[in-house]
Amino acid sequence: MTIHTVAVIGSGIMGAGIAEVAASHGHPVLVYDINADAISRAIDGIRTRLESRVTRGKLSAEACEQTLQRLVPVTDIQALARADLVIEAASEQMAVKKALFAQLAEICPAKTLLTSNTSSISITAIAADLSHPERVAGLHFFNPAPVMKLVEVVNGLATSEEVVEQLSALAVKWGKQPVRCQSTPGFIVNRVARPYYAEAWRALEEQVAAPETIDAALREGAGFPMGPLELTDMIGQDVNFAVTCSVFNAFWQERRFLPSLVQQELVLAGRFGKKSGQGVYNWRSDRPAASWLETVSDADSAISVQRRSDGVTEIDGLLLIETQGETAQALANRYGQPVVVCDRQEGDVAVIAVAASNPASANRKAVWHLQQQGKRVLQVADYPGLLIWRTVAMIVNEALDALQKGVASEQDIDTAMRLGVNYPRGPLAWGEQLGWQRLLRLLENLQRHYGEERYRPSSLLRQRALLESSYES
């Protein structure tokens, strides 16, 4: 069928953004909300954004006016009967969505496509009790919808292949990049991204470093566009915590998705982040800067530095070792020498942890050596896997689990994570680059250290590590 008229249910940030996208691509758009004032505010917001583009020379005044004329305020749900496509962007509650879709199934002709912008609720469950469930799918945009390229096209058990293909083609016409995935908790992005937040919360709970140091390590040391803690403040602690709880419960309390008690405290206190003025950070004042180590200028210039064949750097008897998931103290005990462990180094950042038994003079030599290579150095507590390696390993592990269980293709998983949350690389391409055996060893060491299922390597990671070993031999 040809999709002409589009209806958007909900006039919040996402609903307004989706309505703007559809209207700007020539569709009459029915903007439905039970609150007429909310619709007016949404359309006023769209007008402001479009006029800003006109001012900057990005849009003609004529195109701006035509887009605004296509937006039709609707407060009577019966009016949605004339829509060819309905996109629901209402409250993220199963009961609300099921009630809305039950109404839509009665009001709209069987040919009307019924979709939800949900970020984590089951499309299968939404469609379960409806007539013609084959026309129900997920159409998950990312905020801000007019800017973000990614759209997750989600099929439930009953969704027809034709519907998925048509929605994917429509997304392309709207200038978006669709990725296809099965209806599973969190879909692609909100599932695979959970470790990015979870490992940061765990580091904060274990007092590994201050929030600004954790964020700087992941942002400046690994190339993520924002640190995980500042990102949760931007998203909203209430929103991010609710999604984590939803995914955790949907996976029958799988420990990989365990919510954080520290984040729960922020939510209970009403510290939702930037929108409330206080979250992990105080957004009413300047945020603190990460504590970079001062330049070591008085180290002995005759320091002996030797790069060994096993990749370890020996500095006057101290071993500088890139982390494989063990603490510096465990390694110092094994080797009988001072040890400093280093996180994965990208760019000019080095994150280190030192064994408690090290003499201070040995630690200074390690810092001096790194600074001589042009590195800015962050020191954190002696934490297995440190921050970058540990976080990336968990993201890759989750992506492999999703791939093995048929959630989406390898290409779509990588595309989703690059475009949906702006990761520097797709996690599966990243895993290939870092080495499957290295990732497996790190996760096994973390699992051994904690004695928890949380760090259990996926079956597919083990298989890829075996193949990698076979190729090398």
| Residues designated as active site | 119, 140, 152, 190
> Mean of the pLDDT values across residues 28-55?
96
Q: How far apart are CA 227 and CA 218, in angstroms?
A: 6
Coil, strand or helix at 326: coil
Query: pLDDT at position 336, please?
Result: 96
Q: Would you state the pLDDT for residue 301?
A: 62
Q: Tokens 């096209």 correspond to what residue?
A: 153
Return the amino acid letter for 439. Answer: L
Percent of the chain with pLDDT over 70: 98
The Cα 468–Cα 456 span in angstroms is: 19
What lies within 8 Å, CB to CB, of 368 at 6+ separation is 296, 299, 303
Amino acid 256: pLDDT? 95
Evaluate if residue 205 carries a pLDDT over 90.
yes
Give the N- to C-terminal CA distance of the chain in Å, as an integer.
Answer: 55
Give the model's pLDDT for residue 311: 84
More confident residue, 38 or 92: 38
Element holding 363 (H helix, E strand)? helix 360-372
Task: Provide the sign of the torsion angle of the four alpha carbons 321, 325, 328, 332, taken in this order.
Answer: negative
pLDDT for 472 = 63
Tell me: pLDDT of 473 over 60. no
Task: Please state, in angstroms and as integers, the Cα–Cα distance from residue 379 to each residue in 22, 340, 359, 363, following that order.
Answer: 49, 10, 15, 11
Q: Helix, strand or coil for residue 95?
A: helix
pTM of the model: 0.94
CA angle 150, 156, 158 (to 5 degrees): 140
The greatest distance separating any two alpha carbons of the chain, rounded to the nearest whole angstrom, comes to 83
- Helical spans, DSSP H, in 223-281: 228-235, 237-250, 261-268
- Write out the two tokens for 453: 């299922």
Instruction: Give the span between the Cα atoms of 45 and 49, in whole angstroms.
Output: 6
DSSP 8-state assignment for residue 423: -
- Give the Cα separation of 97 and 334 in Å (integer): 57
